[in-house]
Amino acid sequence: MEKKLNINEWAVEDRPREKMMLHGVGALSDAELLAILIGSGNREETAVELMRRILASCHNDLNELGKMGLEELCTFKGIGDAKAVTILAASELGKRRASAERSRERTTITSSKDIYAYFHPLLCDLSVEECWVLLLNQALKVIDRVRVSTGGLAGTAVDIRLVLREALIRRAPAIALCHNHPSGNTRPSNEDNRLTERLAKSAAVMDIRLIDHLVLTDGAYYSYADEGRI
């Protein structure tokens, strides 16, 4: 009968804590870092092997891993609710760190690509639509961002008065609107078109410039400014 190895007999690659202490955190793979978080695997495989298997199921893409839900993660043998929650919490912390770094840099918006890069980590994984307004100063540097609406799978209602109120409170002479389409289709709806037209006109009356409205998905976007519609 084959003897099972205890933890002290595992190779250092299967003991990521020891590997980190010996070589530093930069020496660890994504699977090894995640293995530290979940603590243990199952009877057939180590935590590192388990995380390699889970990552392989999402093409070794941490963004895809972050999109997994609790139930989906729990389908893997060795992953229960507690470990699944830990993995999802780590993914969310990574997104928030990236977002905080951009905020500290006081991002300057020069194109639709800048708006997409700013909002992508925030909106790409959502299963429902959300709409955010980006508040900008005269030099088009980011003052703040505010969520102005959240809704269902197919749409979210935006109150133009709320958008302009946020701009007036923060004394923002320019704004950009961005919302996601969980369906993955970047084509704007008729309601998106009406909202953009009404907001641009209402903002102009108050001497506020709507520089763009983006419809965002994970990997693509539609820009009203790029299409000459603003």
Q: Are residues 125 and 214 in the same domain?
A: yes
DSSP result, 137-183: -TT-BEEEEEEEEE--SS-----HHHHHHHHHHTT-SEEEEEEE-TT
**Domain end marker among 100, 129, 146:** 100
Of the candidates 100, 122, 83, the one whose C-alpha atom is nearest the C-alpha of residue 216 is 122
pLDDT, residue 142, reads 94
Dist. CA 202–CA 200, nearest whole Å:
6
Range of the domain at 118: 106-223
The answer to whether residues 77 and 126 belong to one domain is: no
> What is the chain's mean pLDDT, rounded?
87
115 and 190 housed in the same domain: yes
Q: How far apart are the first and last CA of the chain?
A: 73
Q: b/e map of 195-228 (b: 16 or more CB within 10 Å)?
A: bbeebbeebeeeebbbbbbbbbbbeebbbbbeee
CA proximity to 139, closest of 167, 168, 109: 109
The closest alpha carbon to 177, from 1, 69, 162, belongs to 162
- Domain stop point among 100, 128, 162: 100
Q: What is the pLDDT of residues 141-185, one digit of tens each?
A: 999 999 999 876 555 689 999 999 999 999 999 999 999 999 999
By C-alpha distance, which of 214, 150, 207, 202 is closest to 177? 214
User: Does residue 228 sit within a domain?
Assistant: no
Same domain (yes/no): 115, 60: no
Residue 229 lies in a domain: no
Q: What is the pLDDT of residue 103?
A: 58
d(CA 18, CA 48): 13
Q: What is the pLDDT of residue 66?
A: 83
What is the tens place of the pLDDT at every residue in 188-203? 999 999 999 999 999 9
Residue 230 lies in a domain: no
Q: Are residues 53 and 153 in the same domain?
A: no
**31 and 62 fall within a common domain:** yes
Residue 1 covered by a domain: no
Residue 211 sits in a domain of what CATH number?
A: 3.40.140.10
Do 37 and 94 reside in the same domain of the chain?
Answer: yes
Number of domains in the chain: 2
